[in-house]
Amino acid sequence: MYEVYVAARFEAAHRLLGDFGPASRMHGHTYRMEVIAHGQRLQEDGTLFDIGELRQMADGLAASLNYRDLNEVPDLAGVNTTAEAVADYCWEKLAASLRDRGLDSLVVRIWESPDVYAAREDALD
Amino acid sequence: MYEVYVAARFEAAHRLLGDFGPASRMHGHTYRMEVIAHGQRLQEDGTLFDIGELRQMADGLAASLNYRDLNEVPDLAGVNTTAEAVADYCWEKLAASLRDRGLDSLVVRIWESPDVYAAREDALD
Amino acid sequence: MYEVYVAARFEAAHRLLGDFGPASRMHGHTYRMEVIAHGQRLQEDGTLFDIGELRQMADGLAASLNYRDLNEVPDLAGVNTTAEAVADYCWEKLAASLRDRGLDSLVVRIWESPDVYAAREDALD
Amino acid sequence: MYEVYVAARFEAAHRLLGDFGPASRMHGHTYRMEVIAHGQRLQEDGTLFDIGELRQMADGLAASLNYRDLNEVPDLAGVNTTAEAVADYCWEKLAASLRDRGLDSLVVRIWESPDVYAAREDALD
Amino acid sequence: MYEVYVAARFEAAHRLLGDFGPASRMHGHTYRMEVIAHGQRLQEDGTLFDIGELRQMADGLAASLNYRDLNEVPDLAGVNTTAEAVADYCWEKLAASLRDRGLDSLVVRIWESPDVYAAREDALD
Amino acid sequence: MYEVYVAARFEAAHRLLGDFGPASRMHGHTYRMEVIAHGQRLQEDGTLFDIGELRQMADGLAASLNYRDLNEVPDLAGVNTTAEAVADYCWEKLAASLRDRGLDSLVVRIWESPDVYAAREDALD
């Protein structure tokens, strides 16, 4: 089994809804988004998937969240912006472009700091 | 599938028992402990598991090993303190608090340096 | 000449006032604060300054900014929260505790991301 | 399940064959090779596999690629040196020494930069 | 005294001329360029120098070297591409844009790997 | 002014003498030693000082401390092994080999963790 990985970054504010102590106050993070695509076979050109193309997808998505208050991003309206929920959102956005491209599954990790992340991993059916 | 990750640190001495060359001498590491919990579904508040609570568990465990000679820690009496054995010990300690909390499995990685770790991953039955 | 260094972290939101493009929108960072104290001579116990004490000072200051919107921190009222201005503020706070302790100068660096920081360095007269 | 991890580094030039834009030009990377071996049970000495021995294997392989143009390495003749293909090559080399040693599977990750890697994971049958 | 820092990256091949052992062979690095500008006073907007503008300068320079064989870059013709010489070259390029902007001095560091760099620091007269 | 930098690592145990709280217990660190040499002029071959040679010096010194209890290292007998004192010791060892080599000054930083270091900087007279 093969995998390819790219990382991108966005710097955003947010606040959690509910009883999350200090995380319920407006604060922010230098987010790191890691994207990992899995597949069974390399293509004839020696790639699983063009890393340059994967990077453009990740960079584009990160740019849409960069220098934003996540609670104000239209696509996240009504979402409690936990790291899990942001991973969920990014997973869906990226999966939409990665299905039917010879890949089996996709992981998206959202790091809020070097010591904390949440991730979603699912098949690309 | 979702996962949440936290990291903690402890600075400890140890020596291995047996034929491990220089690692059989008293030496030490700036250990990094990574804790990853997996589960299938997010709760209504948008979390898999409260990362703040997971962090407190990891920090508490790391604090109990911090600034210690691992060969003198009572809970590790009779244990050859390989990175694998330390991972085993930390896995058991954390699993005791994480069972029946809606999680499927748990990974604990023990880094002895930025270039070496050992890990244990098992189901949280 | 000797120096001792400690680092602390805080995760905060802010927005710049003025014509700073996207940085004028509410956003956030995982800030890293680096504190470096310089002096000429080690004391009899082999230290320039007790790193444990320096760390407590840095951690205390970071905690006062953690999980905050910097534009709402009372001590920063009226300050345009550029990285330079945050470095200035932290420098003054730390210098107040470090004068007359046998140190010559103090550096405070405020990292907004792994690729950007601003710093202030001045004598501890 | 247990795993042990080591990392090694090599600094090499290469160019891709085919339509990869700027990556088709001669360029280079500070490569980081990560090696992860999985197994079910610890041995009596508290190890899954001697990390010191695994490190020697990884260091030896990295040394054979260090300060080289990958397109000129005899073992890579005819290979399009994508990160996937380099991972494939390193996986085969390491697997040859790791079979029948009580391990289940092996992962090799080849990082071209801190933001990009490709990996191969397969059973050690 | 204040300073602002930005970092950029380029992935390039090169070979040294002369008796540098393996470094005389074609090889490559994931280079990291760090740029630090010093000055005495903050402006009214709370900045020493607009970090966004400094970043564009560094990114532009890094892009001109990215995915290149440094020995083939026209501006480096006749230069032995040691890390010191690359730092020299980048220092001159950036200094040309930073003079008469209220800054005192400039540092450029060229990292060939996380364990090696060379730097030039000089006044911006 | 130019500088060249190399880093090396050693994993060692130690305990402080005196009233340093938990640091008075036997513990350990993954130490990182940074060595920076300064000089005014590049040589004809485009180097300030051969980084390969500097690296060998740093690696040799680090190896002599690796997998040791610093309190048992003969050269450190009678030394309270604070990070400052270890920096002092390493500075003297390296300076002995770097004098009269066209360099002006030398910095040695001893990191006990990614968040703490002590350093010595002095002229190479």
Q: Are D11 and E29 in contact (CB under 8 A)?
A: yes
pLDDT digit string (tens) for D53-96? Answer: 999 999 999 999 999 999 999 999 999 999 999 999 999 999 99
Closest chain C C-alpha to F122 CA, distance in angstroms: 6
Whether residue D37 has pLDDT greater than 90: yes
Chain E residue closest in CA terms to F9: E115
Compute how many other C-beta atoms are within 10 angstroms of the C-beta atom of residue C17. Answer: 14
The amino acid at A31: Y
pTM of the model: 0.97
Q: Which pLDDT value is given to residue C70?
A: 98
pLDDT digit string (tens) for E103-118? Answer: 999 999 999 999 999 9
Both tokens assigned to A64: 């849409």
Chain D residue closest in CA terms to B80: D46
| Residues contacting residue E75 through CB under 8 Å, at least 6 positions apart | E89
Q: Are D7 and D78 in contact (CB under 8 A)?
A: no
Average pLDDT score over chain E: 97
Cross-chain Cβ contact F18/C45 below 8 Å: yes
What angle is formed at CA A100 by the lines to CA A96 and CA A103, rounded to 5 degrees?
95
- Here the ipTM equals 0.95
Cross-chain Cβ contact A1/D122 below 8 Å: yes
Measured between alpha carbons, how far is residue A2 from residues A40, A42, D122, F53 in Å? 6, 8, 9, 39
The phi and psi torsions of E16 (rounded to 5 degrees) equal: -90, 150
pLDDT digit string (tens) for A90-119? Answer: 999 999 999 999 999 999 999 999 999 999
Taking residues D14-37, report their average pLDDT.
96
Mutate to test the interface with C, among F14, F116, F121, F122 (most CBs of C within 10 A): F116
The amino acid at F96: A
The series of mean pLDDT values per 10 residues for chain B, 125 residues long, is 98 95 96 98 96 97 98 94 98 98 98 98 95
Whether residue A29 has pLDDT greater than 90: yes
Both tokens assigned to D117: 């890697």
Angle separating helix axes A51-65 and A83-98, nearest 10 degrees: 140
Chain D residue closest in CA terms to A51: D116
What angle is formed at CA B75 by the lines to CA B71 and CA B80, rounded to 5 degrees?
40
User: Chains E vs C: touching, with 3+ CB pairs under 8 Å?
Assistant: yes
User: Chains B vs F: touching, with 3+ CB pairs under 8 Å?
Assistant: yes
* Chain C partners within 8 Å of E45 (Cβ): 18, 80, 82
Q: For D38-66, give the DSSP string.
A: EES---TTS-SS-HHHHHHHHHHHHHHHT
Mutate to test the interface with E, among F33, F43, F51, F109 (most CBs of E within 10 A): F51
C17 three-class SS = coil
Q: Are C53 and C119 in contact (CB under 8 A)?
A: no
Closest chain D C-alpha to A122 CA, distance in angstroms: 18
Cross-chain Cβ contact B119/D3 below 8 Å: yes
Question: What is the percent of chain A where pLDDT is above 90?
Answer: 96
The phi and psi torsions of A17 (rounded to 5 degrees) equal: -95, 135
Closest chain A C-alpha to D3 CA, distance in angstroms: 18
Taking 3-state DSSP, the helix, strand and coil percentages for chain A, each rounded to the nearest 5, stand at 35, 35, 30
The phi and psi torsions of D59 (rounded to 5 degrees) equal: -65, -40
Whether residue F64 has pLDDT greater than 90: yes
* Chain A partners within 8 Å of C20 (Cβ): none
Whether residue F121 has pLDDT greater than 90: yes
Taking residues E35-53, report their average pLDDT.
97
Mutate to test the interface with B, among A20, A31, A84 (most CBs of B within 10 A): A84
> Nearest Cβ partner of B7 from A84, A115, A118?
A115
* Chain D partners within 8 Å of A42 (Cβ): 84-85, 88
> Nearest Cβ partner of E121 from F1, F51, F55?
F1
Closest chain C C-alpha to E3 CA, distance in angstroms: 5
Chains touching chain A, criterion 3+ CB pairs below 8 Å: B, C, D
Closest chain C C-alpha to E51 CA, distance in angstroms: 8
Chain A residue closest in CA terms to D19: A45
Whether residue E125 has pLDDT greater than 90: no
Compute how many other C-beta atoms are within 10 angstroms of the C-beta atom of residue B84. Answer: 26
The series of mean pLDDT values per 10 residues for chain C, 125 residues long, is 98 95 96 98 96 97 98 94 98 98 98 98 95
The phi and psi torsions of F65 (rounded to 5 degrees) equal: -110, -5
Burial classification of residue A19, based on how many CB atoms lie within 10 Å of its CB (0-12 exposed, 13-18 middle, 19 or more buried): exposed
Judged by phi (left if over 0) then psi (alpha if -120 to 50, else beta), residue A78 lies in left
Taking residues F5-26, report their average pLDDT.
96
- Measured CB to CB, residues of chain D less than 8 Å from chain E are 9, 11-14, 22-23, 25-30, 66-69, 72, 112-114
DSSP H or E stretch at residue B68 = strand B68-69
Whether residue F95 has pLDDT greater than 90: yes
Cross-chain Cβ contact E46/C81 below 8 Å: yes
Whether residue D33 has pLDDT greater than 90: yes
Taking residues A40-46, report their average pLDDT.
96
Burial classification of residue A22, based on how many CB atoms lie within 10 Å of its CB (0-12 exposed, 13-18 middle, 19 or more buried): middle
